[in-house]
A and B are shown apart, each in its own frame.
Chain A
Amino acid sequence: MTTTMRRSRLHRKEHQAALVFVAIPVIGFLLFTLFPLIFSVYASFTNWNGISAPVFKGLDNYTKMFGDRYFLKSLWNTLYMMIGIPVGLVISLALALAMNRKMRGTTFFRTVYYLPVISSIAAVAILWQWAFNGDFGLINQGLSLIGIGGPNWLQDTATVKPALIIMAVWKGLGYSMLLYLAALQSVPRYLYEAAALDGATAWQQFRHITVPMVRPVTFFLIVTSIIGGSQIFVEINIMTPTGGPEFESATIVWYIWQKAFDNLQMGYASAMSVVLGLLVFTITFIQFRLNRRNQFSID
């Protein structure tokens, strides 16, 4: 009798303690995520300059958006720059395969490729800005060694997006490579052994064992890269602070930021963020549906 009493009291106390622990992130979420989210949805229906009281304007901001050529252009630019995602995945898988082999210096190379990931994006952007300088930049100096006169990367409408893509791929390589490496190392060796016994070539092994086995990682990387890629901002703002030549490098988040903080149009900016949020949500949702169809597991 007494023991059960004690146990239940202990249980209750521990339960209470647990609730307090759980409360911290929940309160954090409500305060810093859910509330701003709901508020920005509300703000998107208002004319609000960010410092005055918002004035309700219905769907004005939303209708304005679809006639705003810079909104459409920045949306297009953002999509365009996602070309870097598949490119980055292919290269990082190749690198991971190379790193997975037993050879000297892999630790060194892993560090080299991972370094950009932990570097501050602002510092990296400034470095690349110098590298892309049309006049004395590292890249054009390198190109001139093989007799190519490089373009003025960040000032030329034709090269500004590729330049930013190159940088994004470089920056993200280490992270994807590391995840692929972990995935590769957890592929059971017996699968390869069995395949080899059956006479599978290296390519067939890669195609039918490696690729499907790392698929969860690929999926994870695609989803997170698209979410991250749709929010690319810092490097744009540092490398092309005016949105690039003829607005060629302005991304959607950069445009939202400019409207909100430079041009006192917080309401309109909120509306654009809501649209962006919905787009990202939709794309991610579709990805999860497609992925469910391809899912399989080994016991």
Chain B
Amino acid sequence: MMKSRPIAATLAFVAAAGLLLSGCSAPAGAEAGGEKKLTFMFRGGEDEKKAYEKAVEQFEKDNSVDVDIIVTTADQYATKLKAAIAGKEVPDVFYISPGDVQAYVQNGIVKDITQYVENSDTIDLDNIWEYGVDSYRYDGKRVGEGAIYALPKDVGPFSFGYNKTMLEKAGIPLPDKDKPYTFDEFVAAAKKLTADTNGDGTLDQWGTGLNVQWNLQPFVWSNGGDWLNEDRTKVTVDTPEFAESLQWFADLQNVHGVTPSVAEAQTLDTYQRWMKGEIGFFPIAPWDLSTYQKLGFDWDVIPYPAGETGKSATWTGTLGIAVAESSKFPEDAAKLVEYLTANKEAQQSLVDAGIQIPNLKDMAEAWAADTSTKPANKAEFLEIVKDYGRELPAGNTFNAEWYDELFTNIQPVLDGKQSAKDYLKEAQPRMQEFLDSANQQAGN
């Protein structure tokens, strides 16, 4: 007996290790005892995590379902989710971006939840942003139409704003919230703001400071240009409209000098400067609102300056919540998705955290009418979602390689060393090649 103890101990250890390993990979919901168990995987910062934990807790109470939460950081999410998929351990409920819908549906990863949604008593499709729901529809050919594969966790209208205090001090008439600036008017206002206010010989206040990757779209679109043709088969960045707007964007720095010093494409700088009150015009998105409440100056939201078309444009981001095809409890999983995206209390706690606008239309109208928090013109966000917001150019293609290519070599244009026209002419064939291969992959 005594002698066999080391072996027994070892075997016990091996068995324990084995259990540990299989414990990690035990499929969700396979729990003994008949209790329903879901896993919910998402990403986000502290605010988001807290708000969702609270919402999930309430859901567990109301539905007697056990929900395991897996949170990752934003940059690890894709890796972890794909590892889970490769290991055939797809979480029951997880975040998905519109760009992934095509691939995930084709490979049977996400479930068609149209039926659940239509028969749901939590969710009223008429009261939730069409833009958000449509981003997760797919008919086997195109994203945007057909069956519902996810519901929007949020919609993120990427709006524009200004430092009211600064404009007033400079004696510039405040911009009209219903009539966008033209490109020229915007440059004129920005020039007036760019100044050395303390007289030490260096500039300490600028008109604007924009990051090309997130801010080029509004100007291209409002100038009549676009990245792709209608059926998403041809890259159209080599048009005069596109070139003109990119050139204008680069000229803000190189010709007009209304942005902080050379090569300051790093948002970090301009973001910090905006918060310090050194920048006149800057993008404002819903996820900034909680931070911007604490700014030491007055600010508001306006439509983006518009080019040739005279009509503002911008993008609306969104992230969806989907149910796994492999889920053992699809009905409960769908219920959780509905709860997180459309339950009033859950939505309220997310809106209160200052990280998103309400998903529900009636709630959003009430939120926009509330003048106790900034900005005054909250209605602009809703305007974008309802009317002029578009999806990011790579949102509906199989992957974003073609889109990223535009930005990979763009620096010389921003530095004024290459003209936008020449650069776009050069980039178009390379982008086209990537797009073709993405479309080809989507086809098989």
Does A24 reach chain B (CB closer than 8 Å)? Answer: yes
CB of A246 to closest CB in B, whole Å: 5
Asked if B264 and A49 sit within 8 Å, CB to CB, the answer is no
- Which residue of the partner chain, among A13, A52, A156, A257, contacts B106 with CB atoms under 8 Å? A52
Instruction: Decide yes or no: A51 and B104 within 8 Å by CB, A17-B6, A262-B78, A263-B400 being known contacts.
Output: yes
Does B70 reach chain A (CB closer than 8 Å)? Answer: no
Instruction: Decide yes or no: A264 and B85 within 8 Å by CB, A155-B266, A237-B75 being known contacts.
Output: no
Does B297 reach chain A (CB closer than 8 Å)? Answer: no
Does B379 reach chain A (CB closer than 8 Å)? Answer: no
Docked pose: A13 CA to B1 CA in angstroms: 12
Docked pose: A23 CA to B78 CA in angstroms: 34
Asked if A263 and B401 sit within 8 Å, CB to CB, the answer is yes
Asked if B107 and A51 sit within 8 Å, CB to CB, the answer is yes
Which stretch, A106-114, A132-140, A168-176, A211-219, touches the partner chain B? A132-140
Q: Mark B1-33, 1 if CB is under 8 A from A, else 0.
A: 001101100110010010000000000000000
Asked if B82 and A134 sit within 8 Å, CB to CB, the answer is no
Q: Mark A229-245, 1 if CB is under 8 A from B, else 0.
A: 00000000100011101
Asked if B7 and A17 sit within 8 Å, CB to CB, the answer is yes
CB of B140 to closest CB in A, whole Å: 15
Considering only CB atoms, which chain A residue lies closest to B77 in the complex? A261
Which stretch, B61-69, B184-192, B402-410, touches the partner chain A? B402-410
- List A residues 254-278 near B (Cβ within 8 Å): 257, 260-265
Asked if A247 and B408 sit within 8 Å, CB to CB, the answer is yes
Task: Tell me how many residues of B have a C-beta within 8 Å of chain A.
Answer: 42
Docked pose: A55 CA to B10 CA in angstroms: 43
Asked if B263 and A134 sit within 8 Å, CB to CB, the answer is yes
Docked pose: A156 CA to B301 CA in angstroms: 33
Asked if B407 and A242 sit within 8 Å, CB to CB, the answer is yes
CB of A137 to closest CB in B, whole Å: 10
- Which residue of the partner chain, among B10, B104, B213, B260, contacts A21 with CB atoms under 8 Å? B10
Asked if B3 and A13 sit within 8 Å, CB to CB, the answer is yes
Does B122 reach chain A (CB closer than 8 Å)? Answer: no
Within 8 Å CB of A257, what residues of B?
Answer: 79
Asked if B263 and A155 sit within 8 Å, CB to CB, the answer is yes
Within 8 Å CB of A58, what residues of B?
Answer: none
Considering only CB atoms, which chain B residue lies closest to A23 in the complex? B14
Does B147 reach chain A (CB closer than 8 Å)? Answer: no
Within 8 Å CB of A21, what residues of B?
Answer: 10
Docked pose: A241 CA to B6 CA in angstroms: 51
Considering only CB atoms, which chain A residue lies closest to B90 in the complex? A51
Does A10 reach chain B (CB closer than 8 Å)? Answer: yes
Asked if A49 and B441 sit within 8 Å, CB to CB, the answer is yes
Docked pose: A119 CA to B4 CA in angstroms: 44
Asked if A157 and B411 sit within 8 Å, CB to CB, the answer is yes
Does B103 reach chain A (CB closer than 8 Å)? Answer: yes
Instruction: Decide yes or no: A156 and B17 within 8 Å by CB, A51-B109, A261-B78 being known contacts.
Output: no
Asked if A55 and B265 sit within 8 Å, CB to CB, the answer is no
CB of B93 to closest CB in A, whole Å: 17
Instruction: Specify which of A10, A55, A246 lies most central, judged by the most chain B CB atoms within 10 Å of its CB.
Output: A246
Does B398 reach chain A (CB closer than 8 Å)? Answer: yes
Does B255 reach chain A (CB closer than 8 Å)? Answer: no
CB of A46 to closest CB in B, whole Å: 12
Instruction: Decide yes or no: A135 and B261 within 8 Å by CB, A21-B10, A245-B411 being known contacts.
Output: yes
CB of B367 to closest CB in A, whole Å: 33
CB of A30 to closest CB in B, whole Å: 13
Within 8 Å CB of A260, what residues of B?
Answer: 82
- Which residue of the partner chain, among B3, B75, B263, contacts A10 with CB atoms under 8 Å? B3
Considering only CB atoms, which chain B residue lies closest to A246 in the complex? B409
Does B86 reach chain A (CB closer than 8 Å)? Answer: yes
Does B268 reach chain A (CB closer than 8 Å)? Answer: yes
Within 8 Å CB of A17, what residues of B?
Answer: 6-7, 10
Docked pose: A295 CA to B11 CA in angstroms: 44
Instruction: Decide yes or no: A55 and B14 within 8 Å by CB, A135-B269, A243-B408 being known contacts.
Output: no
Considering only CB atoms, which chain A residue lies closest to B213 in the complex? A242
Within 8 Å CB of B272, what residues of A?
Answer: 136
Does B262 reach chain A (CB closer than 8 Å)? Answer: yes
Does A205 reach chain B (CB closer than 8 Å)? Answer: no
Within 8 Å CB of B412, what residues of A?
Answer: 246
Q: Mark A120-149, 1 if CB is under 8 A from B, else 0.
A: 000000000000011110000000000000
Within 8 Å CB of B3, what residues of A?
Answer: 10, 13
Asked if B82 and A152 sit within 8 Å, CB to CB, the answer is no
Docked pose: A112 CA to B409 CA in angstroms: 39
CB of B95 to closest CB in A, whole Å: 15
Instruction: Decide yes or no: A262 and B82 within 8 Å by CB, A20-B10, A51-B107, A134-B266 being known contacts.
Output: no
Within 8 Å CB of B407, what residues of A?
Answer: 242
- Which residue of the partner chain, among B85, B106, B107, B399, contacts A263 with CB atoms under 8 Å? B399
Within 8 Å CB of A86, what residues of B?
Answer: none
Asked if B408 and A51 sit within 8 Å, CB to CB, the answer is no
Within 8 Å CB of B6, what residues of A?
Answer: 14, 17
Does A50 reach chain B (CB closer than 8 Å)? Answer: yes
Asked if B7 and A20 sit within 8 Å, CB to CB, the answer is yes
- List A residues 38-80 near B (Cβ within 8 Å): 47, 49-52, 55
Docked pose: A55 CA to B444 CA in angstroms: 10
Within 8 Å CB of A154, what residues of B?
Answer: 266
CB of A68 to closest CB in B, whole Å: 11
Asked if B269 and A16 sit within 8 Å, CB to CB, the answer is no
CB of B44 to closest CB in A, whole Å: 17
Name 5 extra pairs, CB < 8 A, besides A50-B82, A134-B264, A135-B266: A23-B14, A51-B85, A136-B272, A155-B266, A263-B400
B residues touching A (Cβ–Cβ < 8 Å)?
3-4, 6-7, 10-11, 14, 17, 75, 78-79, 82, 85-86, 103-104, 106-107, 109, 213, 260-266, 268-269, 272, 398-401, 404, 407-409, 411-412, 441, 444
Question: 18 interchain pairs (CB within 8 A)?
Answer: A23-B14, A49-B103, A49-B107, A49-B441, A51-B104, A133-B266, A133-B269, A134-B261, A134-B269, A135-B260, A136-B269, A136-B272, A157-B411, A246-B411, A261-B78, A261-B79, A262-B399, A262-B401
Give me the 10 closest cross-chain CB pairs, A-B, nearest first.
A52-B107, A152-B263, A263-B399, A245-B411, A51-B107, A20-B10, A135-B269, A263-B401, A261-B78, A246-B409
